Amino acid sequence: MGRYYSGDIEGKFWFALQSSNCADRFGRTGQVPNYIEYSFWIDDLPEVQEEIQRIEDKLGIFKEKIDKFFEVNNGYNDHLLAQNGISKELLSEYADLLLGYQIRDELNKNGSCNFTAEL
């Protein structure tokens, strides 16, 4: 069981780390029924890129550490995170960063990015 987003980009929100409305941080506020609808346009790209940069700056050297962690692990638990010096806060930022990359890449590819996020 999990919460998904779908549309121009698709994925699954990270359990207990990533909220369904995390795309709000990239400059658009989703519409709230049982789903959150997001529409980004090419004009939103600068704000999306700025937020990506803020997250990358916050993660600092931990981004590479988390990248490497997931090269050899297809999941995580509290023990694995602690063993590798990764906090849930940093992992939550990393999850949002991956969503930001998807939004950015879709904007660059098609000029818009529309998706629905489950609540």
Cα Rg of the chain, angstroms: 14
Q: Which bin fits 111, alpha (ψ -120 to 50), beta or left (φ > 0)?
A: left
Using the predicted structure, report yes or no on whether residue 1 has a pLDDT greater than 70: no
Which residue, among 3, 43, 8, has the nearest Cα to 22 in the 3D structure? 3
Q: Summarize pLDDT for 35-93 with one digit per residue, the tens.
A: 889 999 999 999 999 999 999 999 999 999 999 999 999 999 999 999 999 999 999 99
- Which pLDDT does position 30 carry in this prediction? 84
